[in-house]
Amino acid sequence: MACHDEEVPSDMPEVLEARAAYKAAELEAIDIRFRARVRLGRACLQGRKSLHKTQQQTADELGVVVEQVRRWEAEWREWQRERPDEEP
């Protein structure tokens, strides 16, 4: 990408490189957080089943609202449907 496309003077290519690295790190962080939420959803669901707990009990123990537990578990179920052979 040309420097003028990024509105950076052409004598500052290190700025473009640093910005590209920043954007890549930002995308990687988003993916890391997403996968962590999926693993949390799996753990909540498995833990609830093995301990015979409700979503509300799990939410109370984690100090979150029940809707959060539902979202985490839903992300895990969606992951299973879309990527059944892949670990989060």
**Using one digit for the tens of pLDDT, what is the confidence trace for 4-54?**
555 656 667 888 889 899 999 999 999 999 999 999 999 999 999 999 999
> Where do the structural domains in the chain lie, given as residue ranges?
53-88
Which of 52, 55, 77 has the alpha carbon at shortest distance from 66? 55
Amino acid identity at 61: E
Please tell me the pTM assigned to this model.
Answer: 0.78
SS (H, E, C) the chain: CCHHHHCCCCCCHHHHHHHHHHHHHHHHHHHHHHHHHHHHHHHHHHHHHHHCCCHHHHHHHHCCCHHHHHHHHHHHHHHHHHCCCCCC
For residue 82, name the pLDDT band (cuts at 50, 70, 90): very high
Distance of alpha carbon 77 from alpha carbon 68, whole angstroms? 14
Question: Between the CA of residue 30 and those of 17, 26, 68, what are the distances in Å?
Answer: 20, 6, 18
Q: What is the pLDDT of residue 12?
A: 78
Q: What is the pLDDT of residue 9?
A: 64
pLDDT tens for each residue of 44-79? 999 999 999 999 999 999 999 999 999 999 999 999
For residue 1, name the pLDDT band (cuts at 50, 70, 90): very low
And the tokens for 3?
A: 């420097």
